[in-house]
Amino acid sequence: MDDAAAPRWLTEEQTRAWIALASTVVWLPAALDSQLQRDAGVSYVEYTVLSWLSMRPGRSARMSEIAALANVRLSHLSRIAARLEGRGWMRRAPDPDDGRATLAILTDAGWDKVVETAPGHVAEVQRLVFDGLTSTQVDQLRTIGARIVHVAQPDLCLPEPDQDFPA
């Protein structure tokens, strides 16, 4: 095997960082899901869909955009949307700019659910992620996370929260 075909093995430092990141990717969503299920009766992915819709102009977005942000197939998002519609938290409608696309629209009741759920969710995010970090580490986390997502999904546009967004 020539050098060009040899694998680029992780260094010991990279291996330790990878183990920490992989463990975070597995266990952080599970911990957040448990808190949201227990305290608000919603799953992590359901809350993510609702909160992302709450950050969009007009509290609506194409289903395909939400599916990309949530990293779920459109068919899976359709099942999630049906559950959220059944609870009166969102509705779907044809996109007036492109009749082939469907919009997910956060209802007033959905907005109320996000506002009601956000304090407990934010407290858990604070406890699990930010309480043990310095402000420099928080900035590094944002930079590193954004960089990894950009390389993994170059076309993905992450939502930008505004001051009215409850997280």
Secondary structure string (H, E, C) spanning the chain: CCHHHCCCCCCHHHHHHHHHHHHHHHHHHHHHHHHHHHHHCCCHHHHHHHHHHHHCHHHEEEHHHHHHHHCCCHHHHHHHHHHHHHCCCEEEEEECCEEEEEEEEECHHHHHHHHHHHHHHHHHHHHHHHCCCCHHHHHHHHHHHHHHHHHHCCCCCCCCCCCCCCC
Give strand pairing partners of 62.
103
16 burial class (0-12, 13-18, 19+ CB within 10 angstroms)?
exposed
Render pLDDT for 110-129 as a digit per residue (tens, 0 to 9): 999 999 999 999 999 999 99
Mean pLDDT of 96-113: 94
Tell me the backbone φ, ψ of residue 105, rounded to 5 degrees: -125, 125
Residue 136 CA: distances (Å) to CA of 132, 133, 140 = 12, 8, 6
Render pLDDT for 46-81 as a digit per residue (tens, 0 to 9): 999 999 999 998 999 999 999 988 888 999 999 999
Higher per-residue confidence, 91 vs 100: 91
**What structural domains does the chain harbor?**
40-167 (1.10.10.10)
Confidence class of residue 161 from pLDDT cuts 50, 70 and 90?
low
Render pLDDT for 127-137 as a digit per residue (tens, 0 to 9): 999 999 999 99
Q: State the Rg of the chain over Cα.
A: 19
pLDDT on residue 29: 94
Give the residue carrying structure tokens 């095997």.
1
How far is residue 84's CA from residue 49's CA, in Å, rounded to a whole number? Answer: 9
For the entire predicted model, the pTM comes to 0.82
How far is residue 160's CA from residue 167's CA, in Å, rounded to a whole number? Answer: 11
pLDDT on residue 89: 98
Percentage of residues in the chain with pLDDT exceeding 70? 93
Confidence class of residue 1 from pLDDT cuts 50, 70 and 90?
low
